[in-house]
Structure 1
Amino acid sequence: MNVYLFAVVVILWYMLYRYRRRRVYELAALIPTAPEKIPYVGALQHSYNIMNNIIDLIHKYTDFAQNNGGFVKIWVGPMLYVGITNPEDVEFILKNCLEKADIVKLIRSIVGNAGIFAPVSIWTRRRKLLIPAFSPKIINSFMNILINQSEELAKQLSRHKKVGTGRFEAWSFISAYTLGSVCETALGIRINYVQNPDNKFLKAATNLFALMADRIFQVWLWPDVIYNCSSKSTEFYENLKTVYDLTDEIIQTKKEELKDEDIQLDSDSVIFGQSPKKVRCFLEHLILLSKNSGGFTDVELREEVITFLLAGTDTSSVAICNTLTLLAKYPKEQEKVYQEIVEVLGELDRPLEKDDLKEFKYLERVIKESLRLFPPAPLLIRKVTEETSMPTGVTLPADTGIIVSVWGISRDKKHWGPDADCFNPDRFLPDRKTGLFIPFSSGPRNCVGYQYALLSVKMALVGVLRRYKVVGQEEEGPAPKIDTKFTIMMKAKDNYQIALEAR
């Protein structure tokens, strides 16, 4: 009797659940269904293969969407996600739908409510506090530091005998450069990670991203109560502690230095000390601002610092490594970059100066083309909080997750031309019309540090390419291939195996 009663209750509950969500199912029925369904639990037996073939998966769903009005429906159990590829719809979403989808909650287990992942109610206040810290005036003040870091990167490659000795994994050296640059420019701490690329923090950060990507594709591990009982949670929290320890050390050191510093705001809300020493970095700005009401708490400082350490390190590292890999595949394009460096610097042993950077026009186009073909973050995730009509006419039900395929949009032949899959830096010439270019997102929630990231990427490439030729297997055709895996960022499976030869 009890079994029958239980069955009746379950059936009635399910009927009520479906009835309350009838509008969701009504609107979802009008959106094309993905070629493969993603079930709620258990059936993702091949999550590892999905992670390691993310390009194929994204390509498949993107092609399907582009052939079906720019939309594709994906059910993850009861949760509805819609992939969109039409540029007009994408721009609308990125401008008007600022809430992040529920899946982002998993990443918050690493960074908390940092601005990049925070709910809109928290993000609005934090964004206002963050923007002045990334003003062009402050970013330009970092130029000499980045020049020195890029010079150190080139020297350490030689000292570690990576020049003229065959292939090696470039990832550890490049990520050490970006982390060292972030620590010094954004946090005011000089830690020369380039001299020790096998450091604990870099390994912990890499492991955290890999573990989080693994969890994303294993839906049954989404609930914390289940994940915390799994063997992977132990490894996750051990790596998280390593990241937290460095972050806390940096914050406390800087707070001690600034404990007697008063603050004064200029017209751009940039903080300057009343003493002759001006605020030098992103973290100092946030700490001093936090002395007044409305600033950051210690927990919020940690969240923002961790986000910048992790995101600032990985995105720039991927962009640098992808660009070096592409230049190895296309030596003629690499030679053009080198000749431009020679023309700008005159003598290759002349120290790089601030005014030199704006002259590297071709290198800038190469970087943009690298970001277009291989965006570090291949997907952007948003959520519509209420029923929303898209510019192209499709209506999305409330609480629908939105997946924007940066990879797919960047290779859309309708907007980038029939050679969209090909490596052609000149498509970014000033007089050329391009498709939607969003490697750093777009709209109010775009990457607040994108100008810093581009500067860091350009510095590193000049530092390496002025001294070394990148050697690798040349690509047979104009469409380059990099075998990638998904670890939140999209990185090469071989950790960027390249070879360097002295010029």
Structure 2
Amino acid sequence: MNVYLIGAVVVLWYMLYRYRRRRLYELAALIPTGPEKIPFVGALQHSYNIMNNIIDLIQKYTTYTQNNGGFAKLWVGPLLYVVMTNPEDVEFILKNCLEKADVIKFMRNIVGNAGIFAPVSIWTRRRKMLIPTFSPKIINSFMDIIISQSEELAMQLSHHKVVGTGRFAAWEFISAYTLDSVCETALGIRINYLQNPNNAFLKATTNLFALITDRMLQVWFWPDLIYNCTSRSTEFYENLKIVYGLTDEIIQRKKEELKDVDVHLDTDHANSAQINIVGQSPKKVRCFLEHLILLSKNSGGFTDVELREEVITFLLAGTDTSSIAICNTLTLLAKYPKIQEKVYQEIVDVLGELNRPLEKDDLKEFKYLERVIKESLRLFPPAPLVIRKVIEETTMPTGVTLPADTGVIISVWGISRDKKYWGPDADCFDPDRFLPDRKTGLFIPFSSGPRNCIGYQYALMSVKMALIAVLRRYRVIGEEENGPAPTIDTKFNIMMKAKDNYQLALEAR
């Protein structure tokens, strides 16, 4: 009897559940279903490596959406997600739907409510406080640090004897450069990763990325009750403790250094920012953390926990994004030597002699290199997806209505390759498509709208300087591409990066 009663209760509960969601199912039925089931949805019937196949799925769904009105739906358990590629609808979502989707919550286990992942109610205040910290003047004040780090990168490539000795994994060196640059500009500390590859902090951040990606792509680990019973959870929190510990220590040290500093921040200088210390001469602000601490004094802003969250976000987001952009660009230049030589000739024209140091005013002269970087970001965006959530029922500009609480997956990779907007050669590597008189499609490697990447100017500056430092000294050698459409065998690990860690060779010029 009890069995029948339980069965009846379950049936009634399910019927009520379906009835309350009837509008969602009604609208979802009008959206085309994707080309195939995602491996991590539903039962555990798929045994192949999700990390190595998610990029293929992104490509399949992108092609399908482009041929079916720009939309395709998929179900993640009871959650509805819609893959979107139509530029008009994408821009509407990025401007008007600012809440992040549920899957982003796992990143909050690392960075808390930092601006990039925070709910809108928290993000609004954080973003307002962060904007002055990422002004062009303040970013330019860190240019000397990045120039020094890029020169160090070129020197280390020679010091480690990878020049003229065949193929090597470029990722190790490029990621060391971005980590060193970000740590010095964000925290004001030099870590010299290539001289200290076993640095506990850096190993912990790498492990955290891998663990969080693993959890995001395996839906059976989403419930905390299940995940917290696994060895992965133990490993995750051990690494998180390391990252939090060092960051908190640095924050307290910086706050002690700045406790007698007047809160007035002088940003009138074109390429610098200064602080006024009581009874002393103005002093240049050395890192983003100092800016955040001082701005917090001005506005009663960030607590110690909030400072930690924002700094860690900058460390994590600023390293992999720039590293992948640099490595992808070097890979593409190895595939197309003629384009590489045009870049090198521009470097020679701007800088002249090999040993002439790069200066702040030089960067704006590298017009062709800038187009090469943009084309690299278009074809191989480090972040191939942007994920948002529609809070209430919303009608898109093209007429499709999304139900309330729908997750929206914006395929940056697909939008950048849509032949309807980029032309029949959309898959081809052509830096000149970014000439001022050429019409382009929607270009959003750093997202767009109010929640775009606040540090994109810093990232582009870091990428450009690293490429100049390497290419003015070395010729990048790789397997040349047979046609104009390049391929890079990639995997998904929060970002989209090459499976082989970017195997390249260098020859001295």
Both structures adopt the same fold (TM-score exceeding 0.5): yes
Q: Which residue type is aligned with residue 276 of structure 2?
A: G
Q: Does 1:445 align with 2:451?
A: yes
Counterpart pick for 2:481 among 454, 462, 475: 475
Given candidates 323, 331, 346, the residue that maps to 1:317 is 323
How far the C-alpha of 1:40 sits from its partner, in A, is: 7.6
Aligned length: 502
Name the CA distance, whole Å, in 2 between partners of 1:482 and 1:267: 42
Determine which of 288, 292, 311 is the counterpart of 1:286: 292
Structure 1 Cα separation of the partners of residues 155 and 41 of structure 2: 50
- Contact 2:40–2:218 at 8 Å: present in 1 too? no
TM-score of the superposition, structure 2-length normalised? 0.95
8 Å CA contact 2:394, 2:403 repeated in 1: yes
Q: Counterpart of 1:470 in 2: which secondary structure?
A: strand
Output the amino acid matched with 1:148: S
Q: 1:328 to 1:497 in 2, by over 3 A?
A: same
- One-letter amino acid of the structure 2 residue matched with residue 162 of structure 1: V
Deviation (angstroms), 1:235: 2.2
1:354 to 355, 360, 369: 360
**Equivalent residue letter for 2:260:** D
Q: State how far apart, in whole Å, the 1-side matches of 2:186 and 2:162 are.
A: 29
SS in 2 for 1:83: strand
The letter for the 2-side match of 1:165 is T
Q: Is structure 2 residue 164 aligned with structure 1 residue 158? A: no
Which of 397, 402, 417 is matched with 1:396 structurally? 402
* Structure 2 residue 275 is matched with structure 1 residue 272: yes
- Deviation of 1:209 after TM superposition, in Å, equals 1.5
Identify if the C-alpha distance between structure 1 residues 18 and 353 changes in structure 2 by more than 3 Å, giving closer, same or farther: same
Name the amino acid aligned to 1:284. E
* Counterparts in 2 of 1:267 and 1:282: CA distance versus 1, 3 Å: closer
- Describe the superposition over 1:176-229 as per-residue Cα deviations: whole angstroms up to 9, x where unpaired: 111111111222222222433453333322222222111111101011111111
Deviations 1:395-430 (A, max 9, x none): 001000000000000000000011111111111111
The reply on whether 1:73 has 2:55 as its aligned counterpart is no
Query: 2:383 aligns to what?
Result: 377
Contact 1:271 / 1:285 at 8 angstroms: preserved in 2?
Answer: no
Q: Give how far 1:364 is off.
A: 0.5
Aligned positions of 1:384-463 closer than 5 A:
384-463=390-469
The reply to whether residue 205 of structure 1 matches residue 205 of structure 2 is yes
2-structure distance, mates of 1:447, 1:307: 11
Q: Distance in 2 between matches of 1:245 and 1:337?
A: 43
Q: Give 1:34's aligned residue.
A: 34
1:235 aligns with 2:235: yes
CA contact (8 A) 1:145 1:184 kept: yes
| 3-state SS in 1 of match to 2:297 | coil
Contact 1:47 1:214 (C-alpha < 8 Å) held by counterparts: no
Aligned twin of 2:13: 13
| Worse-superposed segment, 259-268 or 389-398 | 259-268
Contact 1:106 1:216 (C-alpha < 8 Å) held by counterparts: yes
Question: What one-letter code is carried by the residue in structure 1 that aligns with 2:159?
Answer: R
Code of the residue aligned with 2:230 in structure 1: it is S
Q: Distance in 1 between matches of 2:221 and 2:305?
A: 26
Structure 2 counterpart of 1:261, which letter?
A: V
Percent identity between the two aligned chains: 84
Partner amino acid, structure 2, of 1:19: Y
**Residue type of the partner of 2:452?**
N
Unaligned residue ranges in structure 2 (runs of 5+)? none
Q: Confirm whether residue 114 of structure 1 aligns to residue 100 of structure 2.
A: no
What SS does the corresponding residue of 2:470 show, helix, strand or coil? helix
Q: Are the aligned partners of 2:167 and 2:504 in contact in 1 as well (CA < 8 Å)?
A: yes
Q: Which stretch has the larger CA shift, 81-90 or 188-197? A: 188-197
User: Which deviates further from its counterpart, 273-282 or 130-139?
Assistant: 273-282
> Per the alignment, in what secondary structure is the counterpart of residue 347 of structure 2?
helix
Whether the 8 Å CA contact 1:383–1:402 is kept in 2: the answer is yes
- AA aligned to 2:437 is D
Within 2, Cα distance between the matches of 1:144 and 1:265? 20
Give the CA RMSD over aligned residues.
1.7
Structure 2 residue aligned with 1:103: 103
Matched residues in 1 for 2:162 and 2:30: separation?
56
Question: What corresponds to 2:344 in structure 1?
Answer: 338
Which amino acid counterpart does residue 29 of structure 2 have in structure 1?
A
Structure 2 residue aligned with 1:327: 333
Name the aligned partner's letter for residue 328 of structure 1. Answer: A
The AA in structure 1 aligned to 2:32 is P
Structure 1 partner of 2:190: 190
**Separation in 1 of the partners of 2:389 and 2:297?**
34
